[in-house]
Amino acid sequence: VQLQASGGGLQEAGGSLRLSCAASGRTLATYTIAWFRQAPGREREFVAATRKRGASTHYADSVKGRFTISRDNAKNTVYLQMNSLKPEDTAVYYCAADSTIILSDTRDHQRYDYWGQGTLVTVSS
């Protein structure tokens, strides 16, 4: 499966952005899809995930209540709606997919086989 992430940009603190992760080659419904982010000089960190077939969603504590991950199976796309943005949300955001990842590994970026190219989100204070 090939993933294309888009939707990043510059936003003021308190604003919103919606990231998209469009897939080609395979249907995303059978994949667990996650968003990770990486700020300069920091480790890649988990943001949110939707388990395959939409079985469950998972969020990092730092984004819970502000970000929402969702699927549009008809468009073979996963979205990350980001509201109430903070300067500390500034990072390159990556979407990742895997069809066999187990529940306990959902937040582990090393367990994902397929990655999009990343989209930069910058939040100004």
Nearest residue to 125 (alpha-carbon basis) of 81, 93, 66, 85: 85
- Phi and psi of 23, rounded to 5°? -115, 150
Q: Are 33 and 80 in contact, with CB atoms under 8 Å apart?
A: no
pLDDT of 108: 97
User: Which residues of the chain are under the pLDDT cut of 70?
Assistant: none
